[in-house]
Amino acid sequence: KPQRAAEPSGPQKIPGVDRIIAIASGKGGVGKSTVSANLACALAAQGRRVGLLDADVYGPSQPRMLGVSGRPASPDGKTILPMRNHGVTMMSIGLMTNEDQAVVWRGPMLMGALQQMMTQVQWGALDVLIVDLPPGTGDVQMTLAQKAHVDGAVIVSTPQDVALIDARKGIDMFNQLKVPILGMIENMSTHICTNCGHEEHVFGHGGVASEAEKWGVPLLAEVPLDLQIRLASDGGAPITVSQPDSKQAAAFHAIAKQL
């Protein structure tokens, strides 16, 4: 009986990449991309060789958050050279389309693009590759976990019940995919009025801490809802880069030290 050539099966390592950490959320808009960008920059500032793969195929925000534009070059027509800013090597589907252009692709095309970003991009030698996932529990998460050896996932959520319900589904999915949960982050945890210093829990407070406890995973940080964090990301230099010594940046540095 003719033997089929052995095909690589199961999750593979990306050559040169030591660890892959996925940043996930159940819902959109909870700050997963903000956390990914700040975490990558914080890790770089701590001397680690960091890559950031923007796999949020429907709403890629890393080009803007990391201040990267232009098309990545492909000198040999086969491999793609990643971009680099703030000490972070990065690649995003957003660099392959115009900012105003919607990605209206069917699943298989998206998965092709994701695989291309994992296998054809010359990531070089990295201590850690951060993957900014799309929200939810869909094809991208499954494909990533099945094709690449993901070392762990970090779940970002606001303390609001509607976000926590979806975060729970995310945890369940990673458990099924046998990807360890490294911890949870409560984003938009408190808001301190820049005028009067009054502290307000816009989306509630402590919901993620109790959820993390329930699952037996660490609460990595509580990040405040803060104007400077938003302005910095919109300006293309995350707060960990633009105000590295601020208390806002300290929260992200604390997360980086735990990973």
Determine if 62 is a binding residue for ligand ADP (CB under 6 A).
no
Q: Which of 14, 17, 31, 153 binds ligand ADP (CB under 6 A)?
A: 31
Residues 6+ apart with CB under 8 A from 123: 14, 15, 16, 17, 51, 82, 89, 129
Which of 13/169 has CB closer to ligand ADP? Answer: 169
Contact code string over 112-151 relative to ligand ADP, x by CB under 6 A: ----------------------------------------
Q: Does 225 bind ligand ADP (CB under 6 A)?
A: yes
* Cα torsion 123, 48, 132, 93: sign: negative
Q: Is 230 in the site for ligand ADP (CB under 6 A)?
A: yes
Q: Is 187 in the site for ligand ADP (CB under 6 A)?
A: yes
Pick between residue 35 and residue 83 the one whose CB is nearest to ligand ADP.
35
Measured distance CA(183)–CA(231) in Å, rounded: 26
30 is in an annotated binding site: yes
**Least separation in angstroms between CB 233 and ligand ADP:** 4
Three-class DSSP category at 189: strand
Residue spans of beta strands (DSSP E) within 25-173: 50-54, 83-85, 88-92, 126-132, 152-157
d(CA 171, CA 49): 27
- The answer to whether 246 is a known ligand-binding residue is no
Which residues of this protein are in contact with ligand ADP, per CB under 6 A? 25, 28-34, 61, 187-188, 223, 225-226, 229-230, 233
